[in-house]
Amino acid sequence: MSDIHTAESMSVRRDDPDDVVARLEEDIIFGRLAPGARLTEDALMSRYGTSRHFVRQALVNAERRGIVRREKNVGATVRYYSTDEVRQIYEVREMLTRQAALMIPLPAPPALIEELSALQRRYCAKADMQDLRGIHEANDAFHLALFSACGNPYLVRSLQDYMNLTLPMRAKNLADREGLAQSRRQHEMMIELLRGRDSWALAQLCVDHMQFSKRDYLGRIGRDG
């Protein structure tokens, strides 16, 4: 497994624990810290220019989000998902996604089209700026707005849980030129399908939309393994 000493050091404000939490999260979900990378407190303190207290707080929060694993006698590592785990997690996410998409009434109301179009413009603007956190936040906002139109808040909540669970697998895709371009095109296609009546085409596109990041993560853990 790799160690964070090999990664580029980035400074944050020493007096702001939220910056430490945000930077650690970004480094993990955007692939700067590889799956399985060891996270020692001393190395994190050096990397982020902060105190041990703030580093420990960041690790607790990252573990709560499922992107860091802490084990006795091992310490903290970037959460590593096996091939079987990735496939099983995505099986559930794909089922939830397909069902939510099929439940969206078509043609969609103009208000939803306008909301998603505005979110897509924001997403594209963040992409043009190469603002990774902005891209990630705009992307999730787009999908939550889309799936909320299914009318079942419990289904949406379950989908959101699986979006969070797959965060380390999918977010790096947003920093990839090819993956980002494909994501932008597919968002536009989703908006266009919402204007029509083909629920099955919309559902299939939403499932297809997540395949690039799944293949990319499986490829990464295959190379690292």
Domains and CATH numbers, the chain: 4-78 (1.10.10.10), 83-224 (1.20.120.530)
Provide the pLDDT for residue 7.
40
> Is residue 225 predicted with pLDDT exceeding 60?
no
Provide the pLDDT for residue 66.
78
Provide the pLDDT for residue 51.
87
Provide the pLDDT for residue 16.
62
Task: Please report, in angstroms and rounded to a whole number, the separation of the first and last CA atoms in the chain.
Answer: 9
Residue 176 and residue 112: Cα distance in Å, rounded?
A: 28
How does residue 17 score in pLDDT terms, banded at 50, 70 and 90? low
What pairs with residue 77 in β-bridges?
38, 69
Contact 144, 181 (CB under 8 A): no
Residue 47 and residue 164: Cα distance in Å, rounded?
A: 25
Residue 208 and residue 225: Cα distance in Å, rounded?
A: 26
Judged by DSSP in three states, 77 sits in strand
> Is residue 172 predicted with pLDDT exceeding 80?
no
Q: Which residue has the higher pLDDT, 157 or 66?
A: 157
> Is residue 89 predicted with pLDDT exceeding 80?
yes
Tokens linked to 30: 């955007």
User: What is the helix (H) or strand (E) element at residue 75, kind and residue range?
Assistant: strand 75-78
Average pLDDT over residues 115-143: 93
Provide the pLDDT for residue 84.
93
CA dihedral 52, 161, 217, 86 (to 10 degrees): 110
For residue 107, cis peptide bond before it (omega within 30 degrees of 0)? yes
Residue 25 and residue 58: Cα distance in Å, rounded?
A: 8
Contact 184, 125 (CB under 8 A): no
Q: Which residue has the higher pLDDT, 175 or 165?
A: 165
pTM: 0.80
From the number of C-beta atoms within 10 Å of its C-beta (0-12, 13-18, 19+), residue 117 rates as: middle
Q: Which residue has the tokens 């139109």?
A: 149
* Distance of alpha carbon 92 from the chain centroid: 16
Tokens linked to 94: 């794909």
How does residue 12 score in pLDDT terms, banded at 50, 70 and 90? very low
How does residue 9 score in pLDDT terms, banded at 50, 70 and 90? very low
Q: What percent of the chain has pLDDT over 90?
A: 49
